[in-house]
Amino acid sequence: MKPRLPLLAAILGAALFGGCNTYHYYDIDVTFMSPVTETQVSVMKLCLVDVSGAASDTLVLDCPPAKFPDLGTFEYATFADSGTITFTFNGFYDLPQSSSNQCTSSSTSKTASSQITQTGTITVTDFNTTNCPQNVTTTP
């Protein structure tokens, strides 16, 4: 029985103190900044965040954003603890998503590490009014 105790202790130690998956959290805030206006943002119908690099994912945010200029903060969880993770916010005028109806794109990168929680900000500062025209109301 005695020889099994060190093995059990090693397994438990590995499970508790390393060598296994550990969640890392990225709290990313999305903010619109001038010259982007609330009216412009309100025409977007699809808001996506592409996660690339050490992690890969596509996140769907509520669109059009309910708040302006600070859309809010989302949290992304991953086991990645090395490399660079890039979060790219893409706003589209309509579905399906394409480069011809893309309104805006902004990103931020974070370096994955042993740090459990990292914060970041995506600041949206440009808006393509050609791809995403404002709704025009005409009077009869």
Binding site for another protein (CB under 8 A): 11-12, 15-16, 20-23, 25, 27, 51, 55, 57, 59-62, 71-79
Separation in Å, CA 114 to CA 15, 49, 54, 62, 111 = 16, 23, 13, 31, 10
Nearer to another protein, 121 or 128 (CB): 121
In the bound complex, what is the minimum distance in angstroms from residue 21's beta carbon to another protein? 4
Contacts of residue 121, Cβ cutoff 8 Å, sequence gap at least 6: 28, 29, 30, 31, 108
In the bound complex, what is the minimum distance in angstroms from residue 84's beta carbon to another protein? 16
In the bound complex, what is the minimum distance in angstroms from residue 22's beta carbon to another protein? 6
